[in-house]
Amino acid sequence: MKKKIAMLPGDGIGVEVAEAAAIVLKAIEQQFGHAFEMEIGLIGGSAIDDSGNPLPEETLKLCRESDAIFLGAVGGPKWDSNPVGLRPETGLLGLRKTLNLFANIRPVKTYSSLAACSPLKHEVLQNVDMVIVRELTGGLYFGKPSERGGRPGEEDVVDTLYYKRSDMQRLIKAAFDLASVRGGHVTSVDKANVLESSRMWREVAEETADIFKDIPLNHMLVDHAAMRIISSPSSFDVLVTENMFGDILSDEAAMVTGSLGMLPSASFSEQGLHMYEPVHGSAPDIAGENLANPIGAILSAAMMLRHSFSMEEEAAAIENAVEQVLKSGVRTRDLAGGGETYLTTSEMTKEIVNAL
């Protein structure tokens, strides 16, 4: 099959892990006889340096002409003191908004060979296989007004949590769709004891459950969900929630596995142009040192093959290769638990390609 992929490496280790993902995609291309045309576009800090714009028009054009988008990560201290509007993150938020990438999908799976990397007890980690579905283009991060006001001596400030009912409907439906493919159940997370927006969220979840009669639904308050992710992560299957709750809970769930560097994600649009990226950021503390764990990026590429190209066999081949390499005991530094022996980004990538 012929597919065009927009590769947006971004900044810091984003560049290193995107390279790793591209190498694995090339191996898949050869092995399965596909043709992946990967074209690089600028986003974030590197785009600011190039043109003063964190999301150049050319990058948007490249994305729109592609079948799927791969993103490394954006950001770094170099750009932190930029005037408002010129932050690297603006590029990523703008891309999500422009392409209407409303559903962020984050699988959280534990590998028995990595149990020692997790801060949690071994028993708690058994059979953890959950997916967090987070709303990505609305809620508190986009609602207006979001501004300071008041008077001298008593400043005030407001942020707004705003959703249309249809925003909730499409997101919660995406969660139920996923649960039916997995043969699982849905936990809808909200703060319905306090927030009116959460009470509407609960209604929409109930209405959606009426359509998906075979998929059990339960509701959970966000504070309780935060506890359960630590105390019994295996009790979750698909967890669906609004933007800010999802931001926090997905990072919490990430730590269950032991390293942020392991986790992939997908962001779905209604139009079918989806984006794939590792969960981690640009990791300025290790950028440029060939120390990043490329697995989150490589598993994101696998998600791309599965969800955008319907290449289930190819996706599973990557996932199995990763599992096999971890079982063999090789580690990147983040997984080595302070040990002296670990592989570089490029060595780990090579191991995974060999296992393929």
87 labelled binding-site residue: yes
Q: Which stretch binds ligand NAI (CB under 6 A): 133-141, 181-189, 238-246, 290-298?
A: 290-298
Contact call for residue 76 and ligand NAI (CB under 6 A): yes
Task: Give the binding-site size for Mg ion (rule: CB under 5 A).
Answer: 1
* 289 marked as binding residue: yes
Interaction partner, residue 247 (Mg ion, ligand NAI, none; CB < 5-8 Å by kind): Mg ion
Binding Mg ion (rule: CB under 5 A), the pick from 11, 67, 190, 247 is 247
As a whole number of angstroms, the distance between CA 108 and CA 236 comes to: 10
- The binder of ligand NAI chosen from 260, 330, 336, 355 (CB under 6 A): 260
Task: Select 76 or 233, whichever has its Cβ closest to ligand NAI.
Answer: 76
Q: In 192-328, which ranges are E strands?
A: 217-221, 238-241, 264-269, 275-278
127 marked as part of a ligand binding site: no
Judged by CB under 6 A, the residue of 281, 304, 322, 352 near ligand NAI is 281
251 is in an annotated binding site: yes
Beta pairing partners, 68: 5
Which is closer to ligand NAI, CB of 25 or CB of 43?
A: 43
CA distance 56 to 231: 44
- Look up 129 and say whether it is catalytic: no
Shortest Cβ 219–ligand NAI spacing (Å): 28
Q: Which of 97, 109, 251, 350 is catalytic?
A: 251
CB of 346 to Mg ion, least distance (A): 27
Is residue 141 annotated as part of the catalytic site, yes or no?
yes
Judged by CB under 6 A, which of 50, 203, 285, 312 binds ligand NAI? 285
Would the annotation count 210 as a binding residue? no
Q: Answer yes or no whether residue 277 interacts with Mg ion by CB under 5 A.
A: no
Structure tokens at 26: 């090339």
Question: Which region holds residue 139: left if phi is over 0, alpha if psi is between -120 and 50, else beta?
Answer: left
Q: Which does 334 bind (CB under 5 to 8 A by kind): ligand NAI, Mg ion, none?
A: ligand NAI
Segment 120 to 149, residues that bind ligand NAI, using CB under 6 A:
none
Contact between 247 and ligand NAI per CB under 6 A: no
Residue nearer to ligand NAI on the CB measure, 188 or 282: 282
Between residue 88 and residue 147, which ones bind Mg ion under the rule CB under 5 A? Answer: none
Catalytic residue among 97, 109, 129, 141: 141
SS3 string, the chain, reads CEEEEEEEEECCHHHHHHHHHHHHHHHHHHHHCCEEEEEECCCCHHHHHHHCCCCCHHHHHHHHCCCEEEEEECCCHHHCCCCCCCCHHHHHHHHHHHCCEEEEEEEEECCHHHHHHCCCCHHHHCCCEEEEEEECCCHHHCEEEEEEEEECCEEEEEEECCCCHHHHHHHHHHHHHHHHHHCCCEEEEECCCCCHHHHHHHHHHHHHHHHCCCCCEEEEEHHHHHHHHHHCHHHCCEEEECHHHHHHHHHHHHHHHCCHHHCEEEEEECCCCCEEEECCCCCCCCCCCCCCCCHHHHHHHHHHHHHCCCCHHHHHHHHHHHHHHHHCCCCEHHHCCCCCCCECHHHHHHHHHHHC
Which parts of this chain interact with ligand NAI (CB under 6 A)?
13, 17, 73-76, 89, 92, 260-261, 277, 280-286, 292-293, 296, 334
| Catalytic machinery residues | 141, 191, 223, 247, 251
Residues making up the binding site for Mg(2+): 223, 247, 251
Residues making up the binding site: 76-89, 96, 106, 134, 223, 247, 251, 281-293
Which parts of this chain interact with Mg ion (CB under 5 A)?
247
